[in-house]
């Protein structure tokens, strides 16, 4: 690292676009990240670096620039005060299905200024450049997961340098939402992540939706052929010779429903030997405090995306087939348990409820039970029925409720949606207090707000914090409300 010039305001400091690893270009494409070189002179840290390569849609000139040279991070810190103790640190891993997103959209002023913590937001390689698992790219089995290795490199940078920004390298919490939360699940079991954090936050993460090495390699071989690298003897050289723009389309490894797919880490590799679900169940996760939760209506976002793509919702006649495509032999039981008639005759809402419960809510509940055997776990459900939402969700022909990702606007200033109203602003302050207190002390607390018991603190109860405007409260009926006994009874889930 070297000298840098950032931004200083009355209640926070911000340094952006800081390189934490060498540019992964040329011979370093599809290699583990290397340390960043010390830059000459003074780095201009007043603006973010480019986002990592990703599909920007039909017009790549609209929006933020993308680059293969993207391994940078941003540091949000409280005002510097002489003689004070170092601040606890939250390292935020962005979501986006491992195929899009960037660090700079998470405006962290509220957490730094009100929560008095240091927030580090990171970029990491995405899509093909981050997770292609072609067998020609490395030693047998040691392919893929380059984006996950980037995240580890960022955590090592935090360990080595965050004290220069007023952060305490011994009080680091890793946190993320969606694919970022899935990444946190992986770091809880990845050998190379051990010792780099002392607590974890997992938001809306289907941590079970990860491919194994064989699946990743199979799809990666097909991907290489699709971009013109057909000769097995020269595939690696061919792939590395392609322009980065030819690799902005990702390989797909896992499908959730018919409207959402993921790239991402593969298990059974030296970097990630085990999948998190099995490792959690067998007690092989890092024994650190965990705050984890879901949104009440996670899957309405994906139903809305489907509507936006096809111009219509799910038809009742196709509903059973869609569930069979997703849940296999359990599909008929799911269709019977979630009939459209129970949701006003709207198959899109029935579909959303089934996948919210089966993919997100009950999986998170099961993972929380496993993790709570080794360390305190605090679970939440974000349940604002009318949160600010982007235009796509506002135009959906059904109520989206507390859909996937909408809780982020209560922790970060995120664009593309109406502002919070006064009641939501109060909920935001409460959540910032809970989150920052967890980062600082390993337990979520908020002055004047309900106490938040840990999972398993009473063997006879299942505690969840219901986060709602007008009054959050501890609930004990989460499993029943989301039909978790039904999901536990299915043959494919037993």
8 A C-beta contact, residue 374 and residue 358: no
Half-sphere exposure at residue 363, Cβ-oriented, CA atoms within 13 angstroms: 25
CA 313 vs. chain centroid, Å, equals: 27
Q: CA nearest 398: which of 348, 345, 335, 338? A: 348
- Clarify whether 298 is annotated catalytic: yes
What letters, b where the CB count within 10 A reaches 16 and e where it falls short, cover 369-378?
bbbbeebbbb
What is the Cα–Cα distance from 384 to 407, expressed in whole angstroms?
Answer: 9
Of 94, 187, 337, 404, catalytic:
404
Two tokens, residue 230:
């057909």
Of 178, 204, 352, 372, catalytic:
178
What is the Cα–Cα distance from 7 to 277, expressed in whole angstroms?
Answer: 41
Residue position matching structure tokens 């809402």: 349
- Clarify whether 489 is annotated catalytic: no
- Clarify whether 404 is annotated catalytic: yes
Q: CA nearest 410: which of 301, 295, 291? A: 295
Two tokens, residue 161:
């340098």
Of 103, 183, 263, 298, catalytic:
298
What is the Cα–Cα distance from 76 to 106, expressed in whole angstroms?
Answer: 10
Residues acting as catalytic residues: 178, 298, 404
């Amino acid at each position: 690292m070297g000298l840098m010039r950032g931004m200083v305001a009355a209640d926070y400091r911000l340094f952006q676009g800081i390189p934490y690893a060498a540019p992964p270009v040329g011979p370093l494409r599809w290699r583990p990240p290397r340390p960043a070189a010390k830059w000459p002179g003074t780095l201009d840290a007043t603006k973010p670096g480019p986002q990592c390569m990703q599909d920007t849609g039909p017009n790549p000139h609209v929006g933020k620039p993308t680059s293969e040279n993207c391994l940078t991070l941003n540091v949000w810190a409280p005002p510097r005060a002489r003689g004070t103790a170092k601040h606890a640190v939250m390292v935020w891993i962005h979501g986006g299905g491992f195929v899009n997103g960037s660090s700079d959209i998470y405006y962290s002023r509220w957490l730094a200024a009100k929560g008095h913590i240091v927030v580090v937001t990171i970029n990491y390689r995405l899509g093909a450049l981050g997770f292609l698992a072609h067998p020609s790219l490395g030693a047998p089995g040691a392919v893929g997961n380059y984006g996950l290795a980037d995240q580890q490199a960022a955590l090592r940078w935090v360990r080595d340098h965050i004290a220069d920004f007023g952060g305490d390298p011994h009080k680091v919490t890793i946190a993320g939402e969606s694919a970022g939360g899935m990444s946190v699940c992986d770091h809880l079991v990845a050998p190379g992540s051990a010792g780099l954090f002392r607590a974890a936050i997992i938001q809306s993460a289907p941590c079970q939706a990860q491919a194994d090495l064989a699946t990743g390699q199979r799809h990666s071989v097909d991907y290489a052929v699709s971009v013109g690298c057909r000769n097995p003897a020269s595939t690696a050289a061919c792939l590395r010779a392609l322009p980065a723009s030819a690799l902005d389309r990702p390989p797909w490894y896992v499908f959730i429903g018919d409207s959402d797919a993921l790239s991402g880490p593969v298990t059974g590799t030296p970097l990630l030997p085990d999948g998190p679900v099995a490792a959690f169940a067998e007690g092989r996760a890092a024994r650190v405090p965990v705050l984890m939760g879901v949104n009440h209506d996670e899957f309405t976002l994906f139903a809305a995306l489907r509507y936006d793509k096809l111009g219509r919702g799910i038809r009742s006649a196709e509903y059973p087939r869609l569930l069979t495509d997703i849940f296999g032999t359990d599909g008929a039981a799911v269709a019977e348990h979630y009939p459209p008639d129970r949701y006003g005759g709207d198959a899109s809402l029935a579909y959303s409820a089934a996948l919210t419960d089966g993919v997100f809510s009950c999986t998170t509940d099961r993972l929380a039970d496993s993790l709570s055997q080794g360390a305190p776990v605090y679970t939440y459900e974000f349940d604002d029925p009318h949160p600010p939402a982007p235009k796509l969700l506002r135009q959906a022909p059904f109520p989206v409720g507390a859909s996937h990702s909408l809780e982020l606007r209560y922790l970060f200033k995120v664009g593309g949606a109406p502002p919070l109203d006064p009641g939501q602003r109060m909920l935001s302050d409460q959540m910032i207090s809970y989150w920052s207190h967890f980062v600082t002390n390993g337990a979520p607390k908020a002055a004047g707000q309900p106490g938040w018991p840990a999972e398993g603190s009473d063997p006879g109860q299942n505690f969840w914090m219901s986060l709602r405007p007008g009054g959050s409260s501890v609930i004990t009926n989460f499993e029943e409300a989301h039909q978790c006994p039904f999901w536990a009874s299915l043959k494919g889930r037993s």
